[in-house]
């Protein structure tokens, strides 16, 4: 009974706002440990198949219920606008010129994971649209191709196409540079 009061007090207390992570993290670890839910932060249980015994299904249902409790505890300890902030950050994210396309897509994938962990699962269509929207302005033609392609159904699909396009563009830049250098050398304009 005392534990439930402590947990209720902790949930009512200061919520994660982006500036108080260390204190919030310690509170959450304590709360989840007290509720025997801490393992739900790092472990995932796979749903049993129909062929598996009833005890596996019962164990999964029990685990799933505890997992929902852990998620609820975490979500109730976030400021209401924090999830909205993560969604906006994801939707407005654009590729930084100093990052490679692989780095850019990894960052987007990490944001998708953070949103999922916070209980906000993006549809495949939302993920694809966000990737297309995040591409540089110089990719206008590719954005149109990706938008209208019926073969692009999820984040993995769009990522593969974007990586291939980035590699092609990088190879073209290299060939252009080599051709320009060869032209300079042929004209005798090379310095000593």
Predicted local distance difference test score (pLDDT) of residue 161? 96
Alpha carbons 131 and 149: distance in angstroms, whole number: 14
pLDDT at 1: 45
- Report, as an integer, the average pLDDT of 155-169: 95
pLDDT of 176 higher than 80: no
Whether 190 shows a pLDDT value over 70: the answer reads no
Residue identified by tokens 């999830």 is: 83
- Per-residue confidence (pLDDT) for residue 128, from 0 to 100: 95
| Contact assessment for residue 73 and residue 40, using Cβ atoms and an 8 Å cutoff | no
Residue predicted with more confidence, 144 or 2: 144
Q: Does the pLDDT of residue 116 top 80, yes or no?
A: yes
Query: What would the two tokens of residue 68 be?
Result: 């929902």
Among 117, 122, 119, which Cα is nearest to 90's? 122
Domain boundaries, the chain: 2-78, 82-186
Confidence of residue 170 (pLDDT cuts 50, 70, 90): confident
pLDDT one-digit tens code per residue, 48-100? 888 999 999 899 899 888 888 888 888 777 776 767 777 888 888 899 989 99
């Amino acid at each position: 009974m005392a534990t439930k009061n402590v947990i209720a007090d902790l949930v009512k207390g200061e919520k994660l706002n982006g500036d108080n992570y260390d204190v919030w993290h310690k509170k959450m670890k304590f709360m989840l440990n007290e509720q025997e839910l801490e393992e739900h932060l790092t472990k995932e249980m796979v749903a049993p198949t129909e062929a598996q015994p009833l005890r596996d299904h019962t164990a999964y249902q029990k685990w799933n219920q505890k997992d929902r409790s852990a998620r609820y505890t975490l979500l109730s300890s976030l400021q209401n606008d924090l999830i909205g902030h993560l969604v906006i950050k994801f939707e407005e994210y654009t590729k930084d010129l100093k990052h490679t396309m692989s780095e850019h897509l990894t960052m987007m994938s990490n944001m998708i994971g953070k949103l999922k962990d916070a209980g906000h699962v993006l549809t495949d269509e939302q993920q694809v649209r966000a990737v297309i929207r995040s591409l540089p302005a110089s990719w206008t033609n590719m954005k149109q191709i990706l938008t209208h392609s019926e073969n692009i159904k999820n984040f993995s699909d769009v990522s593969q196409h974007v990586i291939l396009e980035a590699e092609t563009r990088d190879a073209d830049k290299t060939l252009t540079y080599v051709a320009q250098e060869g032209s300079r050398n042929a004209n005798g304009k090379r310095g000593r």
